Amino acid sequence: MAPSRDPSAFAEELEARVRGRSKEDTRILLVGVLNRHMPGGRRAVLVGGALVEFLTDGAHVTGDVDLIGDPDSILPLLAAAGFEREGRVYVQPDLGLVVDIAGDTLRRGETVTIIEFEGYRVPAVTLEDAIVDRLLAAKFWRSTTDREQAVLLLRAHRDDVDRAVLRGKARANEVGDLLLRLTREMPGARAPRPPGRRRKA
pLDDT tens across 65-113, in order? 999 999 999 999 999 999 999 999 999 999 999 999 999 999 999 999 9
- Tell me, yes or no, whether 32 and 108 share the same domain: yes
pLDDT value, residue 197: 38
User: pLDDT digit string (tens) for 140-195?
Assistant: 999 999 999 999 999 999 999 999 999 999 999 999 999 999 999 887 645 444 44
- Residue-number span of the structural domain to which 100 is assigned: 1-125
Q: Is residue 197 part of a domain?
A: no
- Tell me, yes or no, whether 132 and 114 share the same domain: no
Answer whether residue 130 shows pLDDT above 80. Answer: yes
Number of domains comprising the chain: 2
User: pLDDT digit string (tens) for 11-22?
Assistant: 999 999 999 999
- Tell me, yes or no, whether 56 and 93 share the same domain: yes
Q: Can you point out the beta strands (E) in 57-139?
A: 65-68, 84-86, 89-92, 97-103, 112-117, 120-125
pLDDT value, residue 156: 94
Domain end call among 125, 142, 159: 125
- Tell me, yes or no, whether 8 and 70 share the same domain: yes
Let me know: does 137 contact 170? Beta carbons within 8 Å: no
| Amino acid letter for position 43 | R
The whole model's pTM is what? 0.89
How many degrees, rounded to 5, is the angle at CA 194 between CA 162 and CA 51? 35
pLDDT value, residue 151: 96
- Tell me, yes or no, whether 113 and 170 share the same domain: no
Q: How far is CA 24 from the centre of its chain?
A: 12
- Tell me, yes or no, whether 14 and 110 share the same domain: yes
Domain end call among 90, 108, 125: 125
Let me know: does 85 contact 71? Beta carbons within 8 Å: no
Q: What is the mean pLDDT of residues 2-11?
A: 80
Strand partners, 160: none
- Tell me, yes or no, whether 98 and 137 share the same domain: no
Strand partners, 90: 85, 99
Answer whether residue 62 shows pLDDT above 60. Answer: yes
Q: If phi over 0 gives left and psi between -120 and 50 gives alpha, with beta otherwise, what is residue 119?
A: left
End-to-end CA distance of the chain: 57
Domain end call among 98, 125, 152: 125
Q: Which residue has the higher pLDDT, 55 or 4?
A: 55
pLDDT value, residue 149: 96
Local structure of 187: helix, strand or coil: coil
- Tell me, yes or no, whether 84 and 164 share the same domain: no
- Tell me, yes or no, whether 179 and 111 share the same domain: no
Answer whether residue 36 shows pLDDT above 90. Answer: yes
